[in-house]
Structure 1
Amino acid sequence: MSNILIINGHQYYPFSEGKLNATLVDEAVSLLTQKGHETRVVTMQDEINVEQELENHQWADIVIFQSPINWMGVTWSFKKYMDEVYTAGMGGALCNGDGRTADEPKKHYGRGGTLSGTKYMMSVTFNAPEEAFNDPSEFFNGKSVDDLLFPMHMNFKFFDMRALPTFACFDVMKNANVDNDLERFKAHLNDHI
């Protein structure tokens, strides 16, 4: 069975208390532990111990990143977590520099990752409806969820991690369908983990 690190990137706001993201994390823990996987959970409300977080990433076979998308990206507290933990991991815990060498300073950028074999899954929540994506006449100009998450995917590729299919909940503030989202999430986890 696998070691699975789940990072809840929710940032509390009075209008967004984080109940859906917390519920998705709880569902993942419950389902995955029932299947025999070991899980660890970190939230942005926890005091972040950088060394422990580096060890968590090295321990994990799979990392699930659960986050709302605010202003087209992850929350500021999740970004702060990445800035602190991932920068500290540049010395070998997550990667050996950026992959370039003195002999070839213009080649192999982003190829220094040390988490080969580790998989990751993005699970995100949107205020935007699903119909806003993949349609050239809508807001995202025909772009997909993964197009919007491209910088996140590149972060994890930098560590030589491999992507599992992304999961998304849509329209969560105005037309939420939590029961359906939870069923889809459980099916997604069963299909990919």
Structure 2
Amino acid sequence: MKKILIINGHQYYPFAEGKLNNTLIEKASSWLEEADFEIKYSSSEKEYNVEEEMEKFLWADVVLLQTPLNWMGITWSFKKYMDDVFTAGMMGTLSQGDGRTAENPKQNYGLGGLLKGKYMISVTANAPKEAFNNPDEKFFNGISEDDLMLPMHLNFKWFGLEPLETFFAYDVMKNPEVENDFIRFEKHIKEELIQKA
């Protein structure tokens, strides 16, 4: 049995209540339970205990972060969650500081992670798919979805986790294709989590 921690990084706003993120978590949970995964949950906008959250990371084989794209990054509540949980974990629970040593202070920055599992980021975004990987689109100037999410990839790498392929649901407010997103998401979960984890 594989163990997975699913984190809901959504932050409530009147125009973004979190229904799609919640539905994606529910669907992923159903497919993962069918595949005999054991699941624990966290939510950054609800109360949490820092010690318990660190224990969940130590327990998990895989971490799935389900988050909206919020001002080109994560929500403020998930940033606070990281500030609380990840900072506490740097004291020897989730990582051994920043990976450098007194003997070698200029090398191995960011490589002190103690976790051995994998992670997957799943994002709901209002940007259309065509806004990415296209130098003719002047806002992103050709960057990819993973370029945009690079800080999160580096945060997980800091603690030793290895990436699985990122999932994006595009244009979720202005031009949603929710049923197609669910089909793509099921394929993605089965290929990336169930088959690889």
TM-score by length of 1: 0.98
2:188 maps to amino acid = H
How many residue pairs were aligned?
192
What does residue 5 of structure 1 align with?
5
Rounded to whole Å, the distance in 2 between the matches of 1:104 and 1:40 is 38
1:17 maps to amino acid = E
Rounded to whole Å, the distance in 1 between the matches of 2:101 and 2:92 is 15
The answer to whether structure 1 residue 64 and structure 2 residue 64 are counterparts is yes
What does residue 124 of structure 2 align with?
125
Rounded to whole Å, the distance in 1 between the matches of 2:54 and 2:91 is 11
Rounded to whole Å, the distance in 2 between the matches of 1:93 and 1:182 is 36
Give the superposition deviation at 1:43.
Answer: 1.3
TM-score by length of 2: 0.96
Instruction: After TM superposition, list the pairs within 5 Å mapping 1:33-72 onto structure 2.
Output: 33-72=33-72
8 Å CA contact 2:95–2:115 kept in 1: the answer is yes
5+ unaligned residues in a row in structure 2: which ranges?
none
5+ unaligned residues in a row in structure 1: which ranges?
none
Rounded to whole Å, the distance in 2 between the matches of 1:184 and 1:111 is 33
Give the superposition deviation at 1:92.
Answer: 1.6
Instruction: After TM superposition, list the pairs within 5 Å mapping 1:1-193 onto structure 2.
Output: 1-116=1-116, 118-138=117-137, 139-193=139-193
Give the superposition deviation at 1:46.
Answer: 2.2
What per-residue deviation string (whole Å, max 9, x for no partner) do you get for residues 5-45 of structure 1?
00000000000000000000111111101110001111123
8 Å CA contact 2:45–2:78 kept in 1: the answer is no
Rounded to whole Å, the distance in 1 between the matches of 2:134 and 2:108 is 35
Rounded to whole Å, the distance in 1 between the matches of 2:101 and 2:80 is 28
What per-residue deviation string (whole Å, max 9, x for no partner) do you get for residues 49-81 of structure 1?
000000000000000000001110000000000
Secondary structure class of the residue paired with 1:123: strand
Give the superposition deviation at 1:177.
Answer: 1.1
Secondary structure class of the residue paired with 2:41: strand
Aligned-pair RMSD on alpha carbons?
Answer: 0.7
1:40 maps to amino acid = K
Rounded to whole Å, the distance in 2 between the matches of 1:165 and 1:93 is 26
What per-residue deviation string (whole Å, max 9, x for no partner) do you get for residues 164-192 of structure 1?
00000000001111111011101001111
1:128 maps to amino acid = A
